[in-house]
Structure 1
């Protein structure tokens, strides 16, 4: 397969910029002609070499050994995050029922439909026991597959089983593509034409006509899917940008895309258009999952080769499953046989499993009798939540009301932002719900910056300078409601942002001390030069450190404090999320967390916060 030409809209950033040494080498030539001395050349080259020692860029090419290492590392992360972390711990893993599949040719446009009539649009059941990997293999090279199903039918599980089979192959054969799971809920319709920070400022200016603001928003160009893949590789799998670009450009990935229906409604058709263009430009193999009703409601269709639908469980399958537990579910089995609505709920593998977890050993007369299906579903999830609290009687670190309150807040924010995987560092200032919270958040960032720069200035220049520096930098770094940048160059996450800020500060400080001290020593004495270098280096190092991760840390810490004092989150958030995962409300995926199912997340989001 030939390699497609790069169409990165930010191609100017994908090319390594000339090093400072290269730029300064040219400058030194001009200085030699102008001054006619070798001293200028030496000084410029020395400064350039010193800068490159600290900040020199790495080569964009990789040796075969490096490529193999990168491949194995990514495969291991996908396997650990999604197979060991999700599939093997999922509720579906307990329901040992073979899900039925059927072909859905009506879900995708036929390539010959415009020149001839295609009659075979009706669903075609596949033989019992057919696995999705068999369907994928049958399509052949360049396979594209759409997996459809009802809520709770096992779409994500089916996708992860496919990932499991593909990973096993890729581990044995280096010629196989690397299967990587992505969630499309993070795909958004935005990009370069107008910067996000400007759009946000414009959007907040109510004095501008509404038509102008809406036009500016519409001017944003779609994010090319290749760029989105690179970003997600960095955000979710910690893959450096240059490695991600190489993997995408050289077509080494097999994206497994879950949650097309979780993309914000207004962006779904655009998302399909972007996927179709990516497939056309790259000839890529793709697999996409979606709820069938959400997909059928769209005007666009994926130009894929095949679509399959996961069939609901039959009464026979449900009966055999419950019978396999003996007398544990006698009451539930009787109710399902007598009540049509309970029988309908049990056709979903998710709901059947929740029934078995919530109503184990419950007599038929004690089971709830509610006529409205949605109310039954809510009651079933409530029973599941109650049961999960009872299953873990040890380590009762939090009260039940606290856990429910924090999970409700978390679910509401995730539903509002169409998020599936929750990352602590992805919390944003616009999650603050009232004016008071936002004002406190803005002030905290300015106070922190004022304290840092003020104390530094007091040590070096005195009290008046401390007041001046503190006020100036406090105003500069006063926090806005803008998005917290969690991607700092190649580093992801708040901890890495902090490490990045400290590293940059120390490098700049040391470089300025060395260069400033040497040059100042030559001109005004060693002591004065070193003192000046220390002072200037400290200021520049701290400032650049804030620009390269430090400000993100301040923003995040300020946001966490405001949310904590408003009882939206606990102090140790990571420990709480692990606690919720231990009670099977959440599952850990890499550095993030997901609810055990989207339907449970939606249930929490609809609940009223606990007092």
Structure 2
């Protein structure tokens, strides 16, 4: 059972305050709506009665929230008491929500004062419907603020532990937590303690000066180094080191052991440089040089200003530990290597230490690095493998005897990764579980299959954490989910999976080569014809468009035709927008010609916004959005309003819609910075959308004041607000949130991945099948991802896998 968090008093107070704002707006709306009916107007016009109603609703809501909190505490397991903390300032989200409540209350009171007996019934009804709609939205936002999940505990703990420390100490703390404690000490290789030797590979590097040499084609024989030579010893002698080796040979482990030693020096001596680990899989060519990319990465990951990073690199106060040159996208590998060489040859960075890791096979296809020294990880010897298996006890005697007969299996276990996998997969195994003959690929498949089953059924993880309740993810269902995740990642050439960046494009299309899980219902029937990518977008977008269209057009219908006009307009808008959006995204966009036709309006899939950690403002995009939505307002809304009301009202409606389009369209996501923790990008996008809403309300309030002062049709501005908010969901952070909801719907209905995806990824990390990488998750090795991607989720487990599962569960 996942632990509950205690609800504090600030959310309860916030809930009460916002309910007071909500109740006040509703009371004002009731007062205005009943003003035309003498039999009701008497008591609604009494201020004391209305204030009593507001107070009663607020008290009832507060008591309900308090009882709900007590119920949560009663159902949750006992938690240790929280440490005493001084009362801090309100969170940003709470301040924004309080601002929403204040704006709603203020606008409601202002509207009540501005209304005159001479105002027409249609205009009055339009304003009332708008006020009621925003009051409901305020209540929903308040409810979301109280019930929403808290930030990821790891990220929260990191921020809490970093309060009041210097930049240097913050970087040291993050390096230790992320790379030494979580990545090194809790890695699979720790299950088998080995001293993996290193050899020199001098032909893998070239001199700093001189022209760049041709690609290697093939590495020569390595030169043995004395036993016990560590990477830190070679680094101290050269400070620019390339480390290569076979897949799973322990390159990253060596790099993190170096990180631990350099970290100890930096903690003991303030003058020692600070080691920072960066993943080269994040390299892109949108930076002018390598220093720019490194500064941006360090700034995002470790919370250091880019200018400060540049100064530290100039002074040699940072050491760059770059993991995975082979993980760089194939289109960018040559550019990345040339950028590293330019950085290494620059005189201004001569004092900066660097270590780069890469697979030997991939490095042979590239040009050489201009480094001091190159090392290659030596394969495990026969004696090392035997000592490791003997030290594990008699549970591995069967495997040890099998190695004496099977040289192919012994050769496979010459890397620490596969030896660790075999130690777990074959612990306590009987001889019939071992593969009989076959090549190394066949042995690897059996090893990984048994390893996954062992890790999904064992009672405790290898992360050193308490026992985990696995009932939410039964082994068979968890294995299927891992297979589908591996397939989706490999199809998109991803080594790190960021839940925040999941979009409908990840889902299988109608021409997928995979056999998908059986599903029922309307969504499943549509997906069989349209694909889950378009089905999820069409259904979610169509449903939300129907609701938003009805809510957005009700005030206009009341403005044009009174109560009957409001009802007819809402029903027609729901059908028009719901079917229109659903058919557009579900059917029409699958036609290539129509897809190109819609590009100017909705953008291309590869450039369409999804959740981002940071958003910037583009004046050009804002101007485009303003002009487009202003034109939309004139053609589709302004003309009918002008014919039934006045042209100034139509112009104000177009101006309001254009303002929302400019704010939303002008927000451009910055995808160069991946999420720092799961859910971080989605929360940042929601916060951006909230800020845009606050700006919109401020601008609309100013427009209302000017219009009212000039005795203009101010009710048209109020009536345009709901449609403006609805249209802001079609671009920028609003659309990012909408697409995330669509893919969540598709994942849950298709059965590919669990609906509680982040919890499942955390579970896979706890099982040491995946590992946390900042705000994403990666399989412990690319070969494990490829193995799972090649598995069939519908096949019954092979005989060894079924037997292991029965033994573990029994």
TM-score when scaled to structure 2?
0.56
Q: Give the RMSD, CA atoms, in angstroms.
A: 3.6
Deviation of 1:291 (Å): 0.8
Task: Verify: 1:339 aligned to 2:438, yes or no.
Answer: no
- 5 Å-filtered alignment, 1:241-390, equals 243-244=305-306, 246-248=308-310, 250-251=312-313, 253-281=318-346, 283=349, 284-298=352-366, 300-364=367-431, 367-390=434-457
Task: Verify: 1:549 aligned to 2:733, yes or no.
Answer: yes
Q: Residues 422 and 170 from structure 1, CA distance in 2 versus in 1: closer, same or farther, beyond 3 angstroms?
A: farther
Deviation of 1:105 (Å): 1.0
3-state secondary structure, aligned to 1:138: helix
Deviation of 1:88 (Å): 1.2
- 5 Å-filtered alignment, 1:12-91, equals 69-91=166-188
Q: Residues 270 and 478 from structure 1, CA distance in 2 versus in 1: closer, same or farther, beyond 3 angstroms?
A: closer
3-state secondary structure, aligned to 1:287: strand
Aligned residue number for residue 501 of structure 2: 426
3-state secondary structure, aligned to 2:196: coil
Aligned residue number for residue 559 of structure 1: 743
2:244/2:360 contact within 8 Å kept: yes
Aligned residue number for residue 682 of structure 2: 495
Q: Which of 89-98 and 516-525 deviates more?
A: 516-525
Task: Verify: 1:163 aligned to 2:221, yes or no.
Answer: no
Q: Which of 481-490 and 425-434 deviates more?
A: 481-490
Deviation of 1:585 (Å): 1.3
3-state secondary structure, aligned to 2:249: coil
Alpha-carbon deviations, 1:453-504, whole Å to 9, x = none? 4244234322477667984995898685335433232784443234323432
3-state secondary structure, aligned to 2:605: coil
For 1:89 and 1:576, the matched residues in 2 are separated by 19
For 2:603 and 2:740, the matched residues in 1 are separated by 10
Deviation of 1:173 (Å): 4.4
Aligned residue number for residue 593 of structure 1: 777
How many residues align? The count is: 503
Q: Which blocks of at least 5 consecutive residues in structure 2 are unaligned?
A: 1-161, 213-218, 461-468, 511-529, 558-565, 585-597, 617-669, 796-810
For 1:71 and 1:452, the matched residues in 2 are separated by 51
Deviation of 1:315 (Å): 1.3
Aligned residue number for residue 575 of structure 1: 759
Aligned residue number for residue 395 of structure 1: 470
2:546/2:577 contact within 8 Å kept: no
2:771/2:780 contact within 8 Å kept: yes
1:159/1:256 contact within 8 Å kept: yes
Aligned residue number for residue 485 of structure 2: 410
Deviation of 1:158 (Å): 1.1
Greater length-normalized contact order (CA 8 Å, ≥ 6 residues apart): 1
Q: Residues 498 and 287 from structure 1, CA distance in 2 versus in 1: closer, same or farther, beyond 3 angstroms?
A: same
Q: Residues 113 and 412 from structure 1, CA distance in 2 versus in 1: closer, same or farther, beyond 3 angstroms?
A: same
3-state secondary structure, aligned to 2:395: coil
For 1:169 and 1:422, the matched residues in 2 are separated by 33
1:146/1:288 contact within 8 Å kept: yes
For 1:114 and 1:573, the matched residues in 2 are separated by 50
Aligned residue number for residue 8 of structure 1: none
Alpha-carbon deviations, 1:51-107, whole Å to 9, x = none? xxxxxxxxxxxxxx9996444334333322222222111111222111101121110
Q: Residues 246 and 413 from structure 1, CA distance in 2 versus in 1: closer, same or farther, beyond 3 angstroms?
A: farther
For 1:367 and 1:471, the matched residues in 2 are separated by 60
For 2:274 and 2:717, the matched residues in 1 are separated by 50
Task: Verify: 1:485 aligned to 2:604, yes or no.
Answer: no
Task: Verify: 1:184 aligned to 2:184, yes or no.
Answer: no
Task: Verify: 1:152 aligned to 2:212, yes or no.
Answer: no
Q: Which of 386-395 and 558-567 deviates more?
A: 386-395
3-state secondary structure, aligned to 2:394: coil
3-state secondary structure, aligned to 1:329: helix
1:146/1:306 contact within 8 Å kept: yes
Alpha-carbon deviations, 1:407-434, whole Å to 9, x = none? 1121123233333222111224432331
3-state secondary structure, aligned to 2:332: helix
For 2:311 and 2:544, the matched residues in 1 are separated by 41
Q: Which blocks of at least 5 consecutive residues in structure 1 are unaligned?
A: 1-64, 192-221
Deviation of 1:607 (Å): 1.6
1:388/1:583 contact within 8 Å kept: yes
3-state secondary structure, aligned to 2:277: strand
3-state secondary structure, aligned to 1:89: coil
Deviation of 1:508 (Å): 0.9
Q: Which of 502-511 and 419-428 deviates more?
A: 502-511
For 1:315 and 1:72, the matched residues in 2 are separated by 43
For 1:246 and 1:539, the matched residues in 2 are separated by 45
Task: Verify: 1:225 aligned to 2:349, yes or no.
Answer: no
Larger Rg: 2
For 1:478 and 1:445, the matched residues in 2 are separated by 16
Aligned residue number for residue 149 of structure 2: none
For 1:151 and 1:345, the matched residues in 2 are separated by 11
3-state secondary structure, aligned to 1:153: coil
Alpha-carbon deviations, 1:93-151, whole Å to 9, x = none? 22211110112111011347889xxxx98633222222212221222xxx322111111
For 1:468 and 1:455, the matched residues in 2 are separated by 5
- 5 Å-filtered alignment, 1:452-471, equals 453-462=548-557, 463=566, 471=577
For 2:738 and 2:602, the matched residues in 1 are separated by 10
Task: Verify: 1:110 aligned to 2:207, yes or no.
Answer: yes
For 1:371 and 1:330, the matched residues in 2 are separated by 21
Deviation of 1:289 (Å): 0.9
Q: Which of 337-346 and 306-315 deviates more?
A: 337-346
Task: Verify: 1:134 aligned to 2:233, yes or no.
Answer: yes
3-state secondary structure, aligned to 1:290: strand
- 5 Å-filtered alignment, 1:531-542, equals none
For 1:82 and 1:448, the matched residues in 2 are separated by 44
